[in-house]
Structure formats: structure tokens, C-alpha cells
Amino acid sequence: MMLDVYSGSKILWIEDDPDFRDEVEREFSKEVKCDSVGTFGEARALLSQKRYDLILLDLSLPDGEGLKFCSKIQEEETHQKTPVIILTGRNSIDDKVTAFVLGADDYLVKPIDLRELKARVFSKLRKAKKKSEEDQIYVLDGIKFILSMQKVYYFKDHQDILIDMTPIEFRLLLVLAKNEEKRLSRDELIDWVWGKQVHVVNRTVDSHISDLRKKIEVTQYMIQSVRGLGYRLVRKKVPLKFS
């Protein structure tokens, strides 16, 4: 069961005690891919080549200080979202506070039962995986954006139905959806969708908006013009029914 959930996950285990390092690597390798190293230099070499789902980090290694290494990880865009669990023999409150301030997700003190260690690691992997999946989907009531595929679906009759869109239309609708009810100027839409370095005239925006309006007629939303100012996404008004 554990394998089905975490298959494909990769852990970097940084520990200078070879016996303990091998013991933990053997245990985790039953469920996930685990690379283990004994120095920060080796860890940096791997991090320059790979992305990991979690880093398990000792603080006292022969070639450096773990807290500084943790801080460095948080500064790098590639790894700053990677959960870091400190596993160390150092039990001072100052070290614990500093570790959490620097972005560590957990702080465990040796010796530790491997069952507890695995439970904590897999808990962090599960939460990180869920967060990653959520980051790939944006949902506005009745409309779902699949960011990685640039696809939009609306919900009807208990199923998601694809709305055929161009990449430009997808990005336009997404920025309007993330700013529901807020007026966005043409210049703001151009910056968001095309970028500041691209020259796009206002009528190009208007043309894409016109096409987009037709495509989202099936949803409960509409794109409203704000005279001379721009556009905003609003809910359609439901007509009042009188008996």
C-alpha cells in the first residue's frame, strides 16, 4: 500500500555516520528512491543534477554546518519548496528555533525509532504531493483549469466538459478568474498574458476577449466590459422568477 502512494518519490539523506546512513537508506529504499551521502559537497553535487521530494539532513558534518546548508537550500528556486527534515544529535532549543526560522519542516533528535522516522517522512511526502497536485489545478465555482495542460473544463450533468481554447484564451481566462469581479485594464492583461516585452495593441486583446466570451457562454460566468477601463469576469445574474 505504501509503495502505491509514494512510488517515484525521491529522498536525499545526508548523514556522516556510514552505519546509520546505510540502515536508514535500506529501510526507505523498500518504498522510495533514497540517495544517501556523507558530506555537504556530495549533497550539493546531487542537488545540482536532480530534484528531490524531501531532504533528510544531519546538522554536523565534516565539511560544514547543516543550518547554513538548510538556509542555502531555501534560497534556491529549484529546491526551496522541497521539505527538509532535520535529524541530528543536537537537542538545543536555539538550534531547533533557528532550523524552523530557516525553513526546516521538522526537527528530530537522535536516537529515533525508524518507525517514527518513516511515519514523519511519509507524512511530509504525502502533504507535499497533495500540495503539488493542488498547484496544478485552479478551480473557480463550476470551472476547472488544468495548468500543466492548459485545459479548461466546466461542470455540467455530473461531469467535467472540455472547453476548446487557444493558449492565449486560456491565459486570459485564468487571469480574469483569479481576479474575479476585479477590473483589469488592457495593459494589465497584456502584461499577464503576453509579457511586458511583447508589443500588443488593444484591439488584439478585444478580439481575443470577443472569442472567449462566446466560449464561456456555457458557464455561469461572463466577461463584462468596463467602459474605457478594461474587463472583468463576473457571475451571470439569475433572472428572478415570480409565481
**Residue 242 located in a structural domain:** no
Question: Looking at the structure, do residues 110 and 142 belong to the same domain, yes or no?
Answer: no
Q: What is the pLDDT of residues 131-178, one digit of tens each?
A: 776 678 888 888 999 988 899 999 887 788 999 999 999 999 999 999
Chosen domain end from 100, 134, 168: 134
Cα separation of the two ends of the chain:
57
Question: Looking at the structure, do residues 27 and 85 belong to the same domain, yes or no?
Answer: yes
DSSP reduced 3-state for 67: helix
231: enclosing H helix or E strand: strand 230-235
**Residue 241 located in a structural domain:** no
Question: Looking at the structure, do residues 9 and 105 belong to the same domain, yes or no?
Answer: yes
Question: Looking at the structure, do residues 98 and 111 belong to the same domain, yes or no?
Answer: yes
d(CA 179, CA 177): 5
Question: Looking at the structure, do residues 107 and 164 belong to the same domain, yes or no?
Answer: no
**Residue 142 located in a structural domain:** yes
Assess contact for 218 and 163: CB atoms under 8 A.
yes
Mean pLDDT, rounded, for 26-45: 92
**Residue 230 located in a structural domain:** yes
Instruction: Return the pLDDT at 7.
Output: 59
The cell numbers describing 224, all together, are 463584462
- The CATH number of the domain where 216 resides is what? 1.10.10.10
Higher-confidence position of 166 and 229: 166
- The CATH number of the domain where 48 resides is what? 3.40.50.2300
**Residue 148 located in a structural domain:** yes
| Cα→Cα distances 26→32, 58, 107, 118, Å | 10, 17, 22, 12
Chosen domain end from 134, 165, 181: 134
Poorest-confidence range of 25-29, 72-76, 218-222? 72-76
Question: Looking at the structure, do residues 67 and 162 belong to the same domain, yes or no?
Answer: no
Question: Looking at the structure, do residues 46 and 70 belong to the same domain, yes or no?
Answer: yes
pTM of the entire structure?
0.59
d(CA 52, CA 83): 9
Ranges assigned E (strand) in 17-142: 33-37, 54-57, 60-61, 64-65, 84-88, 106-109, 137-140
The percent of residues above 70 in pLDDT, for the chain, comes to: 94
Nearest to 216 by CA among 135, 138, 144: 144
The cell numbers describing 47, all together, are 542537488
d(CA 232, CA 177): 9
Question: Looking at the structure, do residues 37 and 124 belong to the same domain, yes or no?
Answer: yes
Residues present in the chain in total: 243
Q: What is the pLDDT of residues 68-89, one digit of tens each?
A: 999 988 888 778 888 999 999 9
**Residue 240 located in a structural domain:** no
Instruction: Return the pLDDT at 242.
Output: 47
Question: Looking at the structure, do residues 17 and 124 belong to the same domain, yes or no?
Answer: yes
- In 10 A of CB 241, how many CB atoms? 5
Question: Looking at the structure, do residues 57 and 125 belong to the same domain, yes or no?
Answer: yes
Q: What is the pLDDT of residues 111-131, one digit of tens each?
A: 999 999 999 999 898 888 777
Does residue 216 surpass a pLDDT of 80? yes
Chosen domain end from 97, 117, 134: 134
**Residue 194 located in a structural domain:** yes
Number of domain units in the chain:
2
**Residue 177 located in a structural domain:** yes
Q: Supply the range of the domain harboring residue 46.
A: 2-134
Mean confidence (pLDDT) of the chain: 88
